[in-house]
Amino acid sequence: MFGTYLELQLRALEVFLSAAGSHRYLMEFLEMGGVLTLLEVLGHSQITEKAKTQALHLLRIIANTGRKYKEIICESYGVRAVAECLATACAEETQHTASVLLEALAHGNPRYQQQVYKGLVALLSCNCPKTQQLVLQTVRTVQVIVKTAHLSIVEPLLNLLRSLHLEVQYEAIELIKELQQTEVRPALLRALVTLLKPAREGVCKHKILQDPEMVKMTESLPLFVQQAAAAKVLRMLAEEKQDISEELIHLGVIHHLLCAMGNLEHADTQRQASLALEHFVRSYPVVEEHVRTAMGPALFDCFMHNAELLYMSTDQVQADLLLANKVHILREPEVRNTDS
Most confident of the following: 88-92, 220-224, 331-335 = 88-92
- What percent of the chain is modeled with pLDDT above 70? 93
Mean pLDDT, rounded, for 284-312: 94
Average pLDDT of the chain to the nearest whole number: 91
| Half-sphere exposure at residue 106, Cβ-oriented, CA atoms within 13 angstroms | 25
Is residue 202 over pLDDT 70? no
pLDDT band at 228 (very low <50, low <70, confident <90, very high): very high
Spatial neighbors of 136 by CB under 8 A, at least 6 apart, are 124, 160, 168, 171, 172, 174, 175
CATH for 1-123 is 1.25.10.10
Single out the residue of 175, 110, 112, 123 nearest to residue 149, CA to CA. Answer: 175
Q: Return the pLDDT at 212.
A: 55
Mean pLDDT, rounded, for 250-276: 95
Please state, in angstroms and rounded to a whole number, the distance separating the CA atoms of residues 150 and 164. Answer: 26
Tens of pLDDT, residue by residue over 90-111, are: 999 999 999 999 999 999 999 9
Centre a 10 Å sphere on the Cβ of residue 82 and count the other Cβ atoms it contains: 28
Cα→Cα distances 55→2, 8, 97, 302, Å? 14, 11, 10, 61
| Half-sphere exposure at residue 66, Cβ-oriented, CA atoms within 13 angstroms | 4
Residue 248: burial class (beta carbons within 10 Å; 0-12, 13-18, 19+): buried
Tens of pLDDT, residue by residue over 134-158, are: 999 999 999 999 999 999 999 999 9
- Of 167-176, 180-189, 325-334, the poorest mean pLDDT is in 325-334
Gyration radius from the chain CA atoms: 25
Is residue 133 over pLDDT 90? yes
Question: Could you tell me if 128 and 165 are in contact, meaning their C-beta atoms sit under 8 angstroms apart?
Answer: no
Domain ranges of the chain: 1-123, 203-340
